[in-house]
Structure 1
Amino acid sequence: MAAKVIPDQEVERLIKAGLNQGEIVDYLREKHHIQVTRKAISLWSRRRGMPRQRPATPVDIIPWKIEPQHRHKQILTLLRTEAKVRRGDPVPPRLASTYPRWREMLRTEGLVVDYKPESEEGFVYVPRRKSDGDALVRMPKDITAAPRWEG
């Protein structure tokens, strides 16, 4: 059986309408019975010069410029997972037990995440201050809005 071709005009329309890669994959599967991956949509978009579809991580979750040596730390992965959850995406299966335990640890131990770019580890847990509000992270001094803890 020959592979089905991605319907170019329709996928381009979906991208311009603001659908993300996962939503396009679901749409193609349900409407056209075409099985593609998010990676296939990404490659398709890149080959046609479409803009990258990388959702912005809210500044209230990751307010820092992250140094290259810290970009693969588990705490950063957990913060990115928080951003996904807030967008309505599911927790990735590999973090299904870690993420909720991490959230609970922050809450019960009264901690927030801070970032020290000059340190080897980069991310550190610090005691929650009243000024942190319900945030997950310690906001840098140059950012005034304190994020709200949801959940």
Structure 2
Amino acid sequence: MRITPDEVMELLDQGMSQAEIARQVGVTRQYIYKLAREGGYEPKWTKLTQHIPWDIPSEFKGNALYQGFRAIGWVRWRGPASLTQSQYERARAIWRKLKAFNQVIDFDPKYPAVPGLTNGPGFAYVPRRESDGDYMIRIKPGVKLTPVGKKIWRMPEEWPERKE
């Protein structure tokens, strides 16, 4: 069975995953991804990147705290059902830590990895300061907040429940 980029986009819009489409058509998920990109599809993380408050060099993007931070942003922007269960749990765990210890997340390439907290350098949990306001990030010179970023990086009082 042949499938076009437009047909892939239509199925994605209906809520099917790339893997489901691939199984249905009898091709690889990677091929469906290629067709989706031809049809104009952008991965969700690409859309979120423009609202991340720091310019993150690629060597820091494998950091587990960065990955969790992105998941928090996605929950705050698109809702908890937009993530896998494990991504949602990671985001909630980070939110709980920020709340329990009155901390924020900061990025600085000079931060070392902290075993048990971060798997790589660049990101750290730091004590909240008054200048951070109600954000979950360190507010300092160089931090850029888009209008969407001003909403998604605020610290929610309650974490949204994920309904299956």
Provide the TM-score with structure 1 as the length reference.
0.66
* Contact 2:54/2:107, CA 8 A, preserved across alignment: yes
Q: Which structure: greater helix fraction?
A: 2
Instruction: Work out which of the two has the higher radius of gyration on C-alpha atoms and give 1 or 2.
Output: 1
| 1:23 and 2:1 aligned | no
* Contact 1:25/1:35, CA 8 A, preserved across alignment: no
- The whole-number CA distance in structure 1 between the counterparts of 2:61 and 2:49 is 16
1:50, distance to aligned residue in structure 2 (A): 3.7
* Contact 1:136/1:149, CA 8 A, preserved across alignment: yes
| 1:76 and 2:82 aligned | no
Aligned partner of 1:42 in structure 2 is: 33
Q: Which has the higher contact order (CA 8 A, sep 6+)?
A: 2
Aligned partner of 1:139 in structure 2 is: 139
Q: Give the 5 Å matches for 1:98-109.
A: 98-109=90-101
| 1:64 and 2:54 aligned | yes
* Contact 2:4/2:35, CA 8 A, preserved across alignment: no
1:144, distance to aligned residue in structure 2 (A): 6.1
- After superposition, the Cα gap between the structure-2 partners of 1:84 and 1:38, relative to the gap in structure 1 and judged at 3 Å, is farther
- After superposition, the Cα gap between the structure-2 partners of 1:102 and 1:25, relative to the gap in structure 1 and judged at 3 Å, is closer
Q: Where does structure 2 lack aligned partners over 5 or more consecutive residues?
A: 113-120, 159-164
Identity %: 25
Aligned residues: 136
- After superposition, the Cα gap between the structure-2 partners of 1:103 and 1:144, relative to the gap in structure 1 and judged at 3 Å, is closer
Which amino acid in structure 1 is aligned with residue 85 of structure 2?
Answer: P
Aligned partner of 2:155 in structure 1 is: 149
Provide the TM-score with structure 2 as the length reference.
0.62
1:106, distance to aligned residue in structure 2 (A): 0.3
Q: Where does structure 1 lack aligned partners over 5 or more consecutive residues?
A: none
Aligned partner of 2:162 in structure 1 is: none
CA RMSD of aligned residues (A): 3.5
1:133, distance to aligned residue in structure 2 (A): 2.0
SS at match of 2:135: coil
Which amino acid in structure 1 is aligned with residue 135 of structure 2?
Answer: A
